[in-house]
Amino acid sequence: MNTTHKRRFRNFTIGVSLGAALLAAGTGFTGNSSTAYAATSTTTASTVSASIADQVIATGLKYQGVPYEYGAESGNTSSFDCSSFTQFIFEQNGISLPRSSKQQSTVGTFVPRNELQPGDLVFFYSPVHHVAIYMGDGKILHTYGDDGVTITPLDTGWWDSHYTTARRVLPANGLAATDSRPAVASPDTATPASIDDSSQDQIIGDAWNWLYNFE
């Protein structure tokens, strides 16, 4: 075998070995990327929900002290009743709610009391005829009586004994809890091979360019 053929045979052998190594590395690379994508997506969804909860509560606090008026008109900010208040401040943050507390108690998803998070709607009486927003730390933001829009402890006294249920209407994975549209591809439905195709192709292309130039 002459020198040229020997060199070509050696390069061919290197190419086969390199190709096998790249395939093995590519599989691991894609799997790791899928895991990282899943973690990032879950964190992002939680962050989105927490951020909107903060915004909803901040919007409500702007109206602290505004008088209570039974049957207040929707969208009116000079007075609120309990459900016009929740309807208005959620609407200001892109989430539509029906008008009455009874109707609001049927939207979103049920939340056990021991799993309440800021931004959840909490309901009182049976049948339901009062609604408030859970703020966290055992406090609710709502409007009633002479105090108007106010902050009240949930876990003591009258409100504790008359608590009925809670609903979560804040977004998860970019969609409202009441939205019937299918969610965009989540880490469970994303195809691992589709996540980093461009990066993997670049690595393989660079390797073959190196092998071609080696001769």
Q: What is the CA radius of gyration of the chain?
A: 29
Annotated active-site residue 130? The verdict is: yes
How far are the Cα atoms of 8, 9, 91 from residue 2, in angstroms, in the given order?
A: 10, 11, 81
Name the active-site residue from 5, 82, 129, 162: 82
Annotated active-site residue 142? The verdict is: yes
Name the burial class of residue 70, with classes exposed (0-12), middle (13-18) and buried (19+) by CB atoms within 10 angstroms of its CB.
exposed
Name the active-site residue from 5, 129, 130, 162: 130
How far are the Cα atoms of 52, 114, 199 from residue 29, in angstroms, in the given order?
A: 34, 40, 10
Annotated active-site residue 82? The verdict is: yes
How far are the Cα atoms of 83, 143, 177 from residue 96, in angstroms, in the given order?
A: 12, 19, 11
Give the separation between CA 132 and CA 145, rounded to whole angstroms: 14
**Active-site residue set:** 82, 130, 142
